[in-house]
Amino acid sequence: MIGDWRGDVFADIWRWFCANAAIGPASRRGKKFGKFGVGSIILFPSTTIFNEEYVHIGSNTMIGPHVALSAGMMPGQQCLTNPVIRIGDRCLIGRGSGIVGHFSIDIGDDVWTGHHVYITDQSHGYEDITIPISRQTQPERAVSIGVGSWLGHGVVVLPGARIGKHVAVGANSVVTGVLPDYCVAVGSPARVIKQYHENEGWTPAKEIPRENLNR
């Protein structure tokens, strides 16, 4: 019967798994990572995790459930850089997010994300219309996210993106280029709508000098 005592039992079992099947620095799975800081945790259940030796996680960082975290294209791949993915201290990666690195993804300290955020440093080429896109070149460009930044729900960060420190990126935005320090950006592609200047406070986007947007 739906909603009887058996549902409570199953819920209790699931809560037990969530509490005890997480990945921590002292666990067998945690020790596979290139670095797994004290007080950090990857919540259960996770999605795709492989080539952990190329992934470095700082201290007191929480990675939510159903997160994909991988380096390279397939398990056992020898990557050219190490770490491929670096996540700093005191970060929070939201439920259902994906961080897929092939060359360099650097996430600074105190970066928080909403749910279902996707970050990657590799895309698909499309130079020859006679060849399936999946078989064409896959260029890689380093990605960096500065300390203290916040990525809203559903944000996508694409190859070559450089997000400054203390940047807020609005929900469902797509970051393709450079976002300067202390700004708010929204849209697809993400554009700065305001920026903080020490002597002027918050300045609307139309008043931001062009060189500040492109640096």
How many structural domains comprise the chain? Answer: 1
1 — pLDDT class (breaks 50, 70, 90)? low
Task: Confirm whether 107 is domain-assigned.
Answer: yes
- Residue 176 predicted with pLDDT over 70: yes
Task: Confirm whether 71 is domain-assigned.
Answer: yes
C-alpha to C-alpha distance for 182 and 77, rounded to whole angstroms? 37
Q: What is the CATH number of the domain that holds 199?
A: 2.160.10.10
Q: Residues 125-144: pLDDT tens digits?
A: 888 999 999 888 888 999 99
Name the H helices within the chain: 5-20, 210-214
Q: Looking up tokens 């929070």, which residue turns up?
A: 92
How far apart, in Å, are the Cα atoms of 88 and each of 20, 130, 135? 24, 42, 34
Q: How many CB atoms lie within 10 A of CB 160?
A: 17
Q: What is the mean pLDDT of the chain?
A: 92
Task: Confirm whether 170 is domain-assigned.
Answer: yes
**3-state secondary structure (DSSP) of residue 192:** strand
DSSP 21: S
Predicted local confidence at residue 17, as pLDDT: 81
Two structure tokens written together for 115: 């749910």
Query: Dihedrals φ, ψ of 189, to 5°?
Result: -75, 155
Predicted local confidence at residue 67, as pLDDT: 97
- Residue 188 predicted with pLDDT over 90: yes
2 — pLDDT class (breaks 50, 70, 90)? low
Residues 6+ apart with CB under 8 A from 33: 52, 53, 55, 56, 57
Q: Residues 4-41: pLDDT tens digits?
A: 788 888 888 888 888 889 999 999 999 999 999 999 99
Domain around 159 = 22-214
Predicted local confidence at residue 211, as pLDDT: 52
Task: Confirm whether 197 is domain-assigned.
Answer: yes
Task: Confirm whether 190 is domain-assigned.
Answer: yes
Task: Confirm whether 3 is domain-assigned.
Answer: no
Task: Confirm whether 2 is domain-assigned.
Answer: no
Task: Confirm whether 83 is domain-assigned.
Answer: yes
Name which residue leads in pLDDT, 209 or 73: 73
